[in-house]
Amino acid sequence: MVMGVPPKGLCRHFSQQGIDLNTVYDSTTVRSPVIAELVDLWRYRDLLRLLVTNSIKTRYKRSALGVVWTLLNPLLNTLVLTIAFSQLLRFNLKNYSIYLLTGLLFWNFFAQTTVQAMNTLIWGSSLLRRIYVPRTIFAVSVVGNGLVNYLLALIPLGVIMLVMRHPFRLSLLLLPVALLLMAMFTLGIALFVSTLAVFFVDVVDVYGILLSAWFYLTPIIYPLSIVPEKFAAFIRFNPMNILLEIFRSLIYYGEVPSLLKFGGAALMSVVSLLVGWWVFTRKVDEFAYRI
């Protein structure tokens, strides 16, 4: 039982002239929902683009300082935390601000995107109960939105690097690959928690608590070296750390991570995405009954 995707050749939804009369929706067509959803998402790619651009537009439209805030926010945040941690805890890291901001930007992307995906799905549910659109489109658009915000936030990071005379290395060229992995990992988790959130109201709260614990279990504000030996392995193999280490290497240390590290991160991201996508698309037909 699969969300219908027309057999090959019939699946062009719209022809140049307007409507293709062969558009067929057949609820029995046997095709994995995992793939069917992907095909439909591609069909609705223009909607996806609009959802991303609109949410950016509405976010910045009403306040003149909108864009400025996005740039200023991480700067001020970093300033506060830099003062707090470098003076009080003395981690003894060179250019601690950059170390910190690399972690914060990565974390913010992950945390904000997953939480927003849940909320957007609950918001989008009114739409899903009335009209057909690919159901993953909300989570994917939130990830796209997060990526745009992340890229904007790289500007203040660059400014800080310039000011602190931190070297810009060629390893930065690999950043898009790291972003792709980050997006895949995050989308997987976002889809998984959204599925749960549709069925249980308290998931949003529970997830919030989990997130704050996860934040401290990831070496974002502190270096791995201060972690006592017996916990180090636990923290090192925390999935968020595996991804974060990639970002740190590329931006902060200016090194290309080992193939093993890259491969590990890639494998983890792919698994996260596949599991999240699989769970979501399998349960998605029940959404219309639930939300």
Partner 1 sequence: MSLLTASKPSSSLTVDASLPVIQVNRVSVRYRVPQERIPSFKEYAIRFVKGQIRYHEFWALRHVNLEVHPGEVFGIIGPNGAGKSTLLKVVARVLRPSEGSIRVRGRVAPLLELGAGFDSELTGRENIYLNSAILGYSHRETERRVDRIIDFAGLHEFIDAPLRTYSTGMVARLGFAVATDERPEILIVDEVLSVGDAEFQTKSFERIQSFQGAGTTILLVSHSLERVEEMCARALWLDHGKVVALGLTKAVVDQYVGRVVEAEAERLTQEAERLAQENTAPEAITRWGNRKVEIVHVRMTDETGTEQTIFRTGLRLHLHMDYVTQGPVASPIFGIAIYRQDGLHITGPNTAFSDMRLPTLEGQGTVVYTIPCLPLLEGLYYFSVAVVNQDDTEIYDYQDRVVPFRVVNLGEGVKERYGLLTLQGEWRHQTPNLT
Q: Is 135 exposed, middle or buried (0-12, 13-18, 19+ CB in 10 A)?
A: buried
Q: Of residues 7, 22, 80, 231, which one binds partner 1 by CB under 8 A? A: 22
Q: Of residues 8, 130, 165, 230, which one binds partner 1 by CB under 8 A? A: 130
Which part of the chain contacts partner 1 (CB under 8 A), choosing from 105-113, 182-190, 201-209, 268-276? 201-209
35 binds partner 1 (CB under 8 A): no
**DSSP labels, 193-220:** HHHHHHH-TTHHHHHHHHHHHHHHHSTT
Q: CA 185, 187, 193, 196 torsion: positive or negative?
A: negative
Is 7 strand, coil or helix?
Answer: coil
Which part of the chain contacts partner 1 (CB under 8 A), choosing from 47-55, 67-75, 232-240, 251-259? 47-55
Residues 52-111 that bind partner 1 (CB under 8 A): 54, 57-58, 61-62
30 binds partner 1 (CB under 8 A): no
229 binds partner 1 (CB under 8 A): no
Q: How near is the Cβ of 20 to partner 1 at its closest, in Å? A: 8
Q: Residue 71 corresponds to which tokens in the numbers above?
A: 């740039």
Nearest to 113 by CA among 186, 215, 14: 186
Q: Residue 79 corresponds to which tokens in the numbers above?
A: 């300033």
Positions that interact with partner 1 (CB under 8 A)? 1, 3-4, 13-14, 18-19, 21-28, 43-44, 46-47, 49-50, 54, 57-58, 61-62, 127-133, 196, 199-203, 206, 285, 288-289
